[in-house]
């Protein structure tokens, strides 16, 4: 078995590039070696991004791939690789046998041409049986090549297959990579694998830390590679480097008696900003603590990648931790530099606070007239007025009290005011947070202040929801206005393009309604939102409402799929309508659970037959109920009686939202439906009998169609 070491050395990549590139390198290397028949199998597990309390793994397992990554390098070590490919039998199909020989058994031009193209005589061709009949075939044995022969072409293809959010060219060449490449280390059992990419030739050397050990170092093998890098202040193994960063930060924090404000994403980012880690603890003037906590943390985090500190009760301390990508000779000098930079940022923040607080938050509302929301949809103030009215409509729909409605409308009017403050102009990621802080300082109700920040939540598919109902309902109103308005303005998503993040907005609305257990009519909400958009509408209301409804259906289907609901179940439930999103999701989950039971599967087969007949014969289905006196077969009488006995109870369970109970109760129809289809012909010649039997099926269809379109179910 052979050992491969391959490293791409480059200038410092952005931190966000490192972990995704490691994942790519792992998969691309494994796939290419497997396809090249140099690797039997490999673990496809993604390299860990976090230690989660475990010790870093410094042992390379046999028959596996391990990747390494820092801002300056991407590397992979493969152990257990084959030294040579196995021989491979290759079969090339030719013309059908009947077209390859004439009536005398002589080869035709088709056979002769195929044999020539394969470099063999016609007599060497074989006959193979395929789905389309017997065909001529050339069977060749391709001798395997050594890894030494294969890798000089394979390794450059790995480099070319890596993708990054942004790439660059350098020098006079056209090759693109995340950052200019400076070296390639490529060894097979210690011997150099020769190749060249972007005028950089491979070799047997790597480089240590840019400042602490910049000299080139010869490498002989995997253990030698990792040990020499550690000695040269490079922790190439990401989990080991992360452990070092965490240890340094926690040790520095301990010197203040405080603790790091939890921030795992920042920990991950710092891990990929450095090759070596040495943390220092700095401080700033206590007077800056008058600045809102979120602003202080943002000034540290967003611009400098510093960690904030707090005391045992969660109060922010006038300290910070900076992670340095070096081992300074005088840490005090480095710390002083960090403090100087942060002081300037905090001084700016305090100035913005002083300027902003010269007037209450509500006074910024009129300034939103100066901000264009969208050329076709008016100003930001126009938008605020629209979703404030829509929030009031939501309050009425949910029968909130007058005080609750007033708080909700106050929240909506204040929700976007911070967009025109100096603070948000400098710290745009703090939209809502700044408004909430200013509202609190103005003496607004706690529910109003919380709702201003909360209406931006959830920020993603898995992010938390707002706690206060003010944030929930203003968030729904704001997003519905955006979705309806931008659809009307023909700014709807297309393919992968979604510049206004409308898919994310729709998912947020669905989550808020379902997870907050809100009973709301989507059609009424869309109607109200579109009515509010009247002066700006670019299209008739009804087509836009239909498009937006279909948009929500697709998003709900995706959410249900993530929760384990099969696609056919989602389609069946959505066919019965999605006006009540919470109810639709509940029906889908109940049907998905019932579908797995043998008893319900049998019932569903019968219900599919019912629905398919009603759909096919829709023109003949009568509106009047069935008459038992017209029934001539015992099976149809039994089905009619069984259904009428349970109809009221089933309808009651359905109305109460007890969908598991509903499905359990209607399962009693399984045998009567089966017997009916075994013994009764629906589409008989006698018109009265035919119409009465269709009426019987329609009686059941009206109940079951409210639950799901059973004809969409895929049953084994």
> Where are the chain's structural domains?
2-84+147-231, 89-142, 239-356, 363-562, 588-712
Measured CA angle at 145 (ends 139, 148), to 5 deg: 165
pLDDT for the residue 198: 93
| Calpha distance 565→559 (Å, rounded) | 9
If DSSP states are collapsed to H, E and C, what string results for 476-530?
HHHHHHHHHHHHHCCCCCECCECCCCHHHHHHHHHHHHHHCCCCCCHHHHHHHHH
Torsion of CA 208, 212, 215, 219, to 10 degrees: -30
Q: Please answer whether residues 289 and 262 qualify as being in contact, where contact means their C-beta atoms are separated by less than 8 angstroms.
A: no
Contacts by residues 658-662 (CB-CB < 8 Å, ≥ 24 positions apart): 659/586, 659/587, 659/590, 659/591, 659/707, 660/590, 660/593, 660/594, 662/590, 662/707
The tokens of 47 are what?
């390299």
- Distance, C-alpha 148 to centroid of its chain: 40
Q: Please answer whether residues 284 and 318 qualify as being in contact, where contact means their C-beta atoms are separated by less than 8 angstroms.
A: yes
What are the DSSP calls for 9-29, one per residue? EESPPPHHHHHHHHHHHHHHH
Architecture of domain 588-712: Orthogonal Bundle (1.10)
Q: Please answer whether residues 378 and 536 qualify as being in contact, where contact means their C-beta atoms are separated by less than 8 angstroms.
A: yes
Strands 200-203 and 181-188: parallel
How many Cβ atoms are within 10 Å of 23's Cβ, its own excluded? Answer: 14
Q: Please answer whether residues 337 and 347 qualify as being in contact, where contact means their C-beta atoms are separated by less than 8 angstroms.
A: no
pLDDT for the residue 54: 45
List of the chain residues with pLDDT < 70: 41-63, 716
The SS3 of residue 192 is strand
Measured CA angle at 124 (ends 122, 125), to 5 deg: 70
Cis, bond preceding 70 (omega within 30 deg of 0): no
The DSSP element (H or E) to which 692 belongs, if any, is helix 687-704
| Calpha distance 551→493 (Å, rounded) | 10
The SS3 of residue 707 is coil
Evaluate the CA torsion angle 486, 487, 490, 495 in order and state its sign: positive
The CATH topology of domain 363-562 is: Hypothetical protein af1432 (1.10.3210)
Report pLDDT digits (tens) over 263-283.
Answer: 999 999 999 999 999 999 999
Burial of 639 (0-12, 13-18, 19+ CB in 10 A): buried
Helix, strand, coil share (%) of the chain residues, nearest 5: 55, 15, 30
- Distance, C-alpha 716 to centroid of its chain: 31
pLDDT for the residue 86: 86
The conformational region for residue 572 under phi > 0 = left, psi -120 to 50 = alpha, else beta, is alpha
| Calpha distance 676→674 (Å, rounded) | 5
What are the DSSP calls for 26-86, one per residue? HHHHHHHHHHTTS-S----PPPPS--TTPPP--PPPTTEEEEEEETTEEEEEEEEE-SBPP
Report pLDDT digits (tens) over 453-466.
Answer: 999 999 887 889 99
pLDDT for the residue 40: 81
| Calpha distance 440→460 (Å, rounded) | 26
How many Cβ atoms are within 10 Å of 539's Cβ, its own excluded? Answer: 13
- Distance, C-alpha 569 to centroid of its chain: 22
Task: Return the axis-axis angle of helices 402-414 and 446-454, rounded to nearest 10°.
Answer: 50
Nearest to 690 by CA among 635, 622, 625: 622
| Calpha distance 384→391 (Å, rounded) | 10
Report pLDDT digits (tens) over 585-643.
Answer: 999 999 999 887 877 878 888 888 898 899 898 888 998 999 999 999 999 999 999 99
Q: Please answer whether residues 629 and 637 qualify as being in contact, where contact means their C-beta atoms are separated by less than 8 angstroms.
A: no
| Calpha distance 200→183 (Å, rounded) | 6
Nearest to 453 by CA among 462, 466, 464, 441: 466
| Calpha distance 637→263 (Å, rounded) | 68
């Amino acid at each position: 078995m052979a050992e491969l070491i391959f490293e791409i050395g480059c200038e410092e990549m952005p931190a966000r590039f490192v972990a995704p590139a490691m994942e790519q390198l792992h998969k691309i290397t494994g796939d290419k070696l497997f396809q090249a028949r140099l690797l039997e199998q490999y673990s496809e597990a993604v390299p860990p991004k976090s230690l989660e309390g475990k010790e870093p793994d410094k042992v390379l397992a046999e028959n596996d791939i391990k990747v390494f990554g820092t801002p300056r390098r991407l590397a992979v070590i493969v152990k257990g690789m084959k030294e040579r490919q196995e021989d491979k039998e290759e079969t090339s199909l030719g013309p059908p046998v009947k077209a390859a020989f004439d009536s005398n058994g002589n080869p035709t031009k088709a056979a002769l041409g195929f044999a020539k193209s394969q470099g063999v005589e016609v007599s060497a061709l074989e006959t193979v049986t395929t789905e389309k009949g017997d065909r001529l075939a050339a069977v060749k044995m391709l001798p395997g090549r050594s890894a030494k022969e294969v890798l000089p072409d394979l390794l450059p293809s790995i480099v070319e297959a890596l993708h990054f959010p942004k790439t660059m060219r350098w020098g006079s060449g056209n090759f693109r990579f995340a950052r200019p490449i400076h070296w390639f280390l490529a060894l097979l059992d210690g011997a150099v694998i020769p190749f060249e990419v972007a005028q950089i030739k491979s070799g047997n050397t790597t480089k240590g830390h840019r400042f602490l050990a910049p000299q080139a170092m010869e490498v002989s093998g995997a253990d030698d590679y990792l040990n020499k890098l550690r000695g040269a202040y490079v922790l190439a193994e990401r989990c080991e480097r992360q452990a070092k960063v965490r240890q340094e930060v926690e040790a520095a924090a301990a010197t203040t008696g405080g603790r790091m404000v939890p921030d795992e994403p920042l920990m991950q980012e710092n891990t990929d900003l450095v090759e070596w880690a040495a943390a220092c603890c700095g401080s700033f003037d206590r007077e800056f603590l008058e600045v809102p906590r979120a602003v202080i943390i943002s000034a540290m985090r967003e611009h400098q990648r510093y960690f904030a500190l707090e005391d045992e009760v969660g109060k922010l301390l006038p300290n910070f931790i900076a992670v340095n990508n070096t081992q300074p000779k005088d840490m005090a000098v480095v710390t002083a530099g960090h403090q100087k930079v942060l002081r300037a940022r905090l001084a700016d923040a305090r100035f913005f606070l002083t300027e902003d607080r010269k007037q209450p938050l509500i006074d910024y509302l009129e300034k939103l007239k100066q901000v264009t929301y969208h050329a076709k949809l008016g100003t930001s103030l126009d938008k605020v007025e629209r979703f404030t009215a829509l929030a009031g409509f939501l309050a009425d729909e949910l029968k909130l009290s007058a005080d609750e409605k007033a708080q909700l409308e106050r929240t909506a009017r204040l929700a976007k005011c911070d967009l025109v403050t100096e603070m948000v102009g400098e710290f745009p990621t703090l939209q809502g947070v700044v408004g909430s802080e200013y509202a609190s300082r103005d003496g607004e109700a706690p529910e109003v202040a919380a709702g201003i920040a909360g209406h931006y939540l959830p920020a993603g598919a898995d992010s938390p929801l707002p706690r206060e109902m003010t944030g929930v309902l203003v968030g729904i109103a704001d997003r519905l206005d955006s979705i309806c308005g931008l659809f009307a303005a023909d700014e709807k998503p297309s393919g992968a393009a979604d510049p206004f993040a409308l898919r994310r907005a729709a998912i947020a609305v669905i989550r808020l309604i379902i997870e907050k257990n809100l009973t709301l009519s989507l059609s009424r909400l869309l109607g109200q939102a579109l009515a509010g958009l009247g002066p700006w509408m670019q299209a008739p209301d009804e087509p836009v409402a239909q498009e937006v409804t279909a948009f929500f259906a697709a998003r709900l289907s995706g959410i249900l799929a993530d929760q384990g609901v099969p696609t056919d179940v989602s389609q069946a439930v959505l066919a019965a309508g999605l006006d009540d999103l919470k109810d639709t999701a509940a029906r889908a989950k109940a049907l998905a659970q019932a579908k797995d039971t043998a008893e319900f599967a049998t019932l569903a087969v019968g219900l599919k037959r019912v629905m398919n007949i009603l759909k096919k014969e829709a023109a003949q289905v009568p509106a009047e109920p069935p008459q038992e006196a017209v029934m001539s077969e015992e099976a149809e009488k039994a089905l009619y009686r069984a259904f009428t006995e349970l109809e009221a109870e089933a309808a009651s369970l359905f109305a109460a939202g007890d969908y598991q109970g509903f499905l359990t109760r209607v399962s009693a129809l399984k045998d009567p439906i089966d017997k009916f289809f075994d013994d009764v012909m629906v589409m008989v010649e006698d018109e009265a009998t035919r119409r009465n039997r269709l009426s019987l099926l329609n009686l059941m269809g009206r109940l079951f169609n409210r639950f799901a379109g059973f004809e969409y179910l895929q049953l084994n």
